[in-house]
Amino acid sequence: MTVGPSRGRRYVMLFLFFCGFSIILFRLVTLQVLQAVELTAKANRQHEKTVSFEGARGMVSDRHGKVLAMNVEVPSVFGVPTSLENPSAVARHLSPVLRIRSSELEKKLRQNKSFVWLARKVEPEQGRRLEQLSLGGIGVVMEGQRFYPNGPLLAHVLGFSGMDGQGLEGLERRYDTQLHGEKRVTVLQRDALGRTIFPKGGKEQVPTQGQALTLTVDEVIQYIAEKELDETVVRTHARSGTIIVMEPQSGAILAMAVSPRFDPNSVSALTPDRWRNRALTDTYEPGSTMKAVVAAAALEEKVMTPGSMIFGENGKMTIASTTIHDHEKLGWMTFSEMIQKSSNIGAAKTGMALGDQRLYRYLQAFGFGQRTEIDLPGEVNGLLKAPKSWGRRTLASISMGQEIGVTPLQMVSAIATLANGGVMMKPYVVSEVRDQKGLLLMEVLPHAKRRVVLEETAKTVTTMLERVVTHGTGTKAAIPGFRVAGKTGTAQKIDPRTGGYSSTLFVGSFVGYVPAESPRLAMIVVIDEPQGEAWGGTVAAPVFRRVGEQVLNYLGVSREDTVKIALATRDY
Amino acid sequence: MKTLTILAGVMLVFVFVWERVDVVRLGYQIERSKSQKILLERERDQLQVKFSSLAAPERIAKVATEKLGLIPPQQGQVMMVHQSMDAPGLSSPPVEQVRLARHVVTGRINE
């Protein structure tokens, strides 16, 4: 008879199995129930990776699609101090590559942080060398950086963006909402080696790129304006200079040059004084260029006709116990000659004939004392007091361009109004906004603000302004083969020490349009504090001629002597 | 019948496993393509930067004057020739105007 295991041994076995399974069950409950949340999170951390993608900042291009601002990816270097065993040695390795002192790097790497930037937006070659070094605890990531391929060209208009891609100045700031790309966060699944397999849930959040801007500015015209302005500012040892070229019929800005220039690719060492867009942030007393506006108002109000006679008081006239001078002794002259010879006394008498209320009304209508509403940041109102605040001499002073502060943009807008037959257009710089696929989101169309004077009045003023260039103070602005209308201006600046007008500090300017019979360009040239001869007709008018001649040539505008021929074609 | 059921079950398991493996394989492939796309985009941007820098008017003017010895056209050297719209044989709108260099009588030529 076979005897099986004793009952006792069976119970022992059963008990051992029970204990074993109990332990397994306990461990199972611990892992699956009690530590479930914690362990799930740990597992997710191991096989999931959260990454954020930032859409590139939108491109900015000129009216012909030439790139003026774009984004490029450059390496940035970071460190993980908590994972470093020997920060000193790592800093020594990094120092020659990053061109940063070893002690400075070591200081950063000794911080009790899990992440520190060591150098942001370095050169691609530096990034490559660091990757070759493959130092533990040091990483390289690619970041978008704004790049301006033309360097200083149009810098005052474009502005620049900051380290984190936010618009800080100029168009970059004004259109930051449109230009900046959107950030998207995606969770990616990864394998044991850390390689990405696919996005969690199968859907990846694609970052939206910034919108692209197309400007009204022409890169070539801008270059011509900047080149000529820079040369003049350097040659005359002037403090600064401004040129604005505008299309009178639309208000589109073709060029806006400010000297001295700056390179928006490296602004860290510069002060705001250097990147300020003086064309719309700085006011100056326009001097005699204001006489064109006063003349238009007088003609429109029929206070004067081109043939009206004015006595020049032999070059000296006293108003409110101050004496007004002309640069030459003038006797009787026609209203047209008064503009041609730029008589202060004649302008003062014209202003007085108009009266303070009417003159003020026209100054406002021509846009003085208010922003032009151009799509650029920082524009100022200028300075135009209401008649109730005027002194006894103010009417005469404003008529000859004193006691009024204007920006170059306001002045060129006013003259462009005359070029456009009396209709004032709103100046603008951005013509189109498109999305990353090129779809047109916004198109800016020319906007007529108001009619300021009748077309007939504008034509009469044009004829008078043509005489300024053919026989008057602005002969150096004459462009061979074209009819030029314009006005010179030479204004004394306020001496900050005395509070009165300086005898050495001037602003020389010329504002006009060409061809006078059918204007394609309205342009202002302002030279601030030129040394030596500072007359607008001497210092600014030649710049107008040189820029105007090159731009008209570039635009293919015919000279008066153009031979028109008929080209016959034949069928082949 | 029983054998067929088992075989079908095993086949289903294989299909499921194959599908999972293929999804992972395609995931890797997509990631490789994406990395390549990023690299190509980066290269495109670098080329755009190079192109824009080379095409900058300042550089072109420098090359034209200093290297090629060119000067801006003087008065009378550029003629605009207008095509008359009523010229015989013109069926489509012509180009507005063409520029013709008359003759270059002045200028420096770097030999």
Hey, is the C-beta of B97 within 8 angstroms of any chain A C-beta? yes
Q: How many whole angstroms separate alpha carbon A317 and alpha carbon A326?
A: 9
Residues A397 and A451 in one domain: yes
Q: What value does the mean pLDDT take over residues A128-147?
A: 83
Give the mean pLDDT of chain A: 89
Last residue of a domain, one of A187, A215, A243: A215
A556 and B58 in contact by Cβ < 8 A? Answer: no
Q: Is residue A399 part of a domain?
A: yes
Beta carbons within 8 Å of A111's beta carbon, 6+ residues apart:
A81
Q: A124-133 and A87-98 are packed helices; what angle lies between their axes, rounded to 10 degrees?
A: 150
The total of structural domains in chain A comes to 2
Hey, is the C-beta of B74 within 8 angstroms of any chain A C-beta? no
Beta carbons within 8 Å of A356's beta carbon, 6+ residues apart:
A387, A390, A394, A395
Of A182-186, A369-373, B24-28, B99-103, minimum mean pLDDT range: B99-103
| pLDDT range class, residue A488, cuts 50, 70, 90 | very high
Residues A203 and A300 in one domain: no
Please give the residue range of the domain that contains residue A474. 219-555
Q: In this predicted structure, what is the pLDDT of residue B85? A: 52
Helices vs. strands in chain B: H and E counts, helices first: 2, 2
Q: What is the 3-state secondary structure (H, E, C) of B35-74?
A: HHHHHHHHHHHHHHHHHHHHCCHHHHHHHHHHHCCCCCCC
Sheet with B97-101, strands from edge to edge, namely: A564-565, B78-83, B97-101
Smallest Cα distance from B104 to chain A, Å: 16
CA dihedral A57, A62, A68, A72 (to 10 degrees): 40
| pLDDT range class, residue B95, cuts 50, 70, 90 | very low
Residues A210 and A250 in one domain: no
Hey, is the C-beta of A564 within 8 angstroms of any chain B C-beta? yes
Handedness of CA A125, A131, A133, A139 (dihedral sign): positive
Q: DSSP H helical segments within A282-343, as ranges?
A: 290-300, 335-341
Q: Please say if the pLDDT value at position B39 is more than 90.
A: no
Name which of A307, A306, A325, A390 is nearest A352 in CA terms. A390
Residue A102 bears catalytic tag = no
CB A288 within 8 A of CB A487: yes
Residues A161 and A271 in one domain: no
Last residue of a domain, one of A199, A215, A231: A215
Name which of A399, A386, A296, A381 is nearest A342 in CA terms. A399
Q: Is residue A324 part of a domain?
A: yes
For chain B, positions 15-34, list CB contacts with chain A under 8 A: 23-24, 26-28, 30-31
DSSP A157: H
Smallest Cα distance from A468 to chain B, Å: 22
Last residue of a domain, one of A174, A197, A215: A215
Helix (H, G, I), strand (E, B) or coil at A454: coil
Residues A174 and A247 in one domain: no
CATH code where residue A163 lies: 3.90.1310.10
Q: In this predicted structure, what is the pLDDT of residue B53? A: 87
Q: Is residue A193 part of a domain?
A: yes
Q: Is residue A31 part of a domain?
A: no
Question: Regarding predicted confidence, which is higher, A562 or B80?
Answer: B80
Q: How many whole angstroms separate alpha carbon A524 and alpha carbon A223?
A: 16
* Best mutation target, A47, A60, A71, A197, to test chain B (most B CBs within 10 A): A197
Helices vs. strands in chain A: H and E counts, helices first: 20, 22
Strand blocks (E) in A152-230? 183-190, 196-199, 212-215
Residues A414 and A536 in one domain: yes
Nearest CA in chain A to B58: A223
Residues of chain A neighbouring B30 (CB-CB closer than 8 A): 198
Q: Is residue A166 part of a domain?
A: yes
Q: How many whole angstroms separate alpha carbon A98 and alpha carbon A268?
A: 18
Token pair, residue A173, equals 């700031």
Hey, is the C-beta of B111 within 8 angstroms of any chain A C-beta? no
Smallest Cα distance from A64 to chain B, Å: 13
Smallest Cα distance from A206 to chain B, Å: 12
Hey, is the C-beta of A150 within 8 angstroms of any chain B C-beta? yes
CB B78 within 8 A of CB A553: yes
A185: β partners? A52
| pLDDT per position as a tens digit, A388-416 | 999 999 999 999 999 999 999 999 999 99
Hey, is the C-beta of A550 within 8 angstroms of any chain B C-beta? yes
Q: A87-98 and A102-109 are packed helices; what angle lies between their axes, rounded to 10 degrees?
A: 130
Residues A244 and A133 in one domain: no
CATH code where residue A398 lies: 3.40.710.10
3-state helix, strand, coil in chain A (%, to 5): 40, 25, 40
Q: Is residue A6 part of a domain?
A: no
Q: Is residue A561 part of a domain?
A: no
Q: Cα–chain-centroid distance for residue A356? A: 36
**What is the rounded end-to-end Cα distance, in angstroms, of chain A?**
123
Q: Which residue shows structure tokens 């493959």?
A: A134
* Best mutation target, B82, B86, B102, to test chain A (most A CBs within 10 A): B82
Among residues A288, A343, A397, A399, the one annotated as catalytic is A288
Residues A149 and A223 in one domain: no
Q: How many whole angstroms separate alpha carbon A205 and alpha carbon A189?
A: 14
Cα→Cα distances B110→A493, A520, B77, B101, Å:
47, 36, 20, 20
Residues A421 and A509 in one domain: yes
* Best mutation target, A74, A125, A187, A198, to test chain B (most B CBs within 10 A): A198
Q: What angle do CA A170, A176, A178 make, to 5 degrees?
A: 125
Q: In this predicted structure, what is the pLDDT of residue A202? A: 64
Residues A446 and A354 in one domain: yes
Hey, is the C-beta of B89 within 8 angstroms of any chain A C-beta? yes
- The CB density around residue A30, as the number of other CB atoms within 10 Å, is 12
Q: DSSP H helical segments within A377-473, as ranges?
A: 394-399, 408-419, 455-471
Q: How many whole angstroms separate alpha carbon A369 and alpha carbon A387?
A: 13
Residues of chain A neighbouring B48 (CB-CB closer than 8 A): 67, 70
Q: In this predicted structure, what is the pLDDT of residue A566? A: 45
Residues A331 and A397 in one domain: yes
Name which of A75, A87, A76, A84 is nearest A114 in CA terms. A84
- As a whole-number percent, the residues of chain A with pLDDT over 70 amount to 95
Q: Please say if the pLDDT value at position A308 is more than 80.
A: yes
Residues A391 and A505 in one domain: yes
Q: What value does the mean pLDDT take over residues A59-66?
A: 94
Q: How many whole angstroms separate alpha carbon A477 and alpha carbon A469?
A: 6
Smallest Cα distance from B110 to chain A, Å: 24
Token pair, residue A176, equals 């930051």
Q: In this predicted structure, what is the pLDDT of residue A461? A: 97
Q: In this predicted structure, what is the pLDDT of residue A24? A: 94
